[in-house]
């Protein structure tokens, strides 16, 4: 894709995430590899609907430098680290869907919940070590948890999903939330004897595990 097409694809992916309920407001961030040295990333704290393709920031994967009046997402370090570690990956999504965020907050590893999860994620979804935003601890934890996988949880901080294309990364993000919902329901069933869950059950079973 050309730079113009990549910028538009980032914009479109943001709108799709929002419309699919996989992100809220200005949360989350998206990137697409432009070439071996550069990636196109979402700007910091900008609504996906209001964001225009020209607002998408081109960032150097090695140095994290950019030539733009618009500030890129503060999580650009994680995106760049994934691209450096995984040359086959061309798109990364970081988001905070409800059920996935609950599992991430409990810092749990989610087993394979379906054939689709096995195919798209590549196995169980591990949880990266907790770290403050934009820190080496968070970045290194994410890279480690993503080894041999296309997704992981970030402790207390949502999920990462990646793919060979932005379309694949979106499907990974979707299946992570679908799988997390099934996992939450199974954990609530074991703890509460229920096959559905309320917000109270969610907080009791999962958020009580936060450390």
Check which CATH number belongs to the domain holding 109 and give it.
Answer: 3.40.225.10
Residue range 59-66: mean pLDDT, rounded: 97
- Quickly state the pLDDT bin for 186 (edges 50, 70, 90): confident
pLDDT of residue 195: 65
CA dist., res. 80 & res. 87, Å (int): 11
Residue-range definition of the domain harbouring residue 34: 3-209
- The total of structural domains in the chain comes to 1
Residue range 151-177: mean pLDDT, rounded: 97
Residue range 86-97: mean pLDDT, rounded: 96
The question of whether 75 is a catalytic residue gets the answer yes
How confident is the prediction for the chain on average, in pLDDT?
91
pLDDT of residue 188: 78
CA dist., res. 114 & res. 88, Å (int): 24
Q: Coil, helix or strand for 18?
A: helix
| Contact (Cβ atoms closer than 8 angstroms) between residue 7 and residue 70 | no
pLDDT beyond 60 at 210:
no
pLDDT beyond 90 at 204:
no
How would you classify residue 28: left for phi > 0, otherwise alpha for psi between -120 and 50, otherwise beta?
left
State phi, psi for 206 to the nearest 5 degrees. -105, -50
pLDDT beyond 70 at 194:
no
Residue tagged active-site, from 5, 75, 167, 200: 75
pLDDT of residue 183: 92
Residue range 83-95: mean pLDDT, rounded: 97
CA dist., res. 159 & res. 182, Å (int): 16
Residue range 1-27: mean pLDDT, rounded: 93
Query: Which residues 6+ apart lie within 8 Å of 120 measured at CB?
Result: 150, 151, 168, 171, 172, 175
pLDDT of residue 190: 76
Bridge-based pairing of strands 38-41 and 29-33 is: antiparallel
pLDDT beyond 70 at 30:
yes
| Contact (Cβ atoms closer than 8 angstroms) between residue 42 and residue 166 | no
- Quickly state the pLDDT bin for 73 (edges 50, 70, 90): very high
pLDDT of residue 61: 98
pLDDT of residue 102: 87
pLDDT of residue 97: 93
- Quickly state the pLDDT bin for 72 (edges 50, 70, 90): very high
């Amino acid at each position: 894709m050309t730079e113009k097409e990549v910028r538009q694809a980032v914009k479109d992916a943001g709108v799709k995430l929002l419309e699919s309920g996989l992100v809220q407001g200005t949360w989350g961030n998206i990137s697409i590899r432009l070439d071996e040295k550069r990636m196109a990333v979402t700007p910091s704290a900008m609504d996906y609907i209001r964001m225009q393709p020209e607002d998408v920031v081109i960032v150097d994967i090695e140095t994290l430098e950019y030539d733009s009046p618009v500030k890129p997402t503060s999580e650009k370090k994680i995106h760049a680290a994934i691209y450096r570690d995984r040359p086959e990956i061309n798109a990364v999504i970081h988001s905070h869907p409800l059920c996935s965020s609950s599992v991430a907050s409990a810092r749990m590893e989610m087993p394979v919940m379906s054939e689709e999860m096995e195919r798209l994620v590549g196995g169980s979804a591990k949880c990266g070590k907790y770290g403050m935003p934009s820190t080496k601890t968070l970045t290194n934890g994410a890279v480690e948890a993503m080894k041999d996988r296309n997704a992981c949880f970030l402790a207390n901080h949502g999920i990462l999903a990646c793919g060979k294309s932005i379309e694949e990364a979106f499907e990974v993000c979707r299946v992570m939330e679908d799988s997390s919902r099934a996992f939450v329901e199974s954990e609530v069933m074991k703890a509460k004897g229920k096959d559905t869950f309320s917000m109270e059950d969610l907080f009791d079973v999962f958020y009580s595990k936060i450390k």
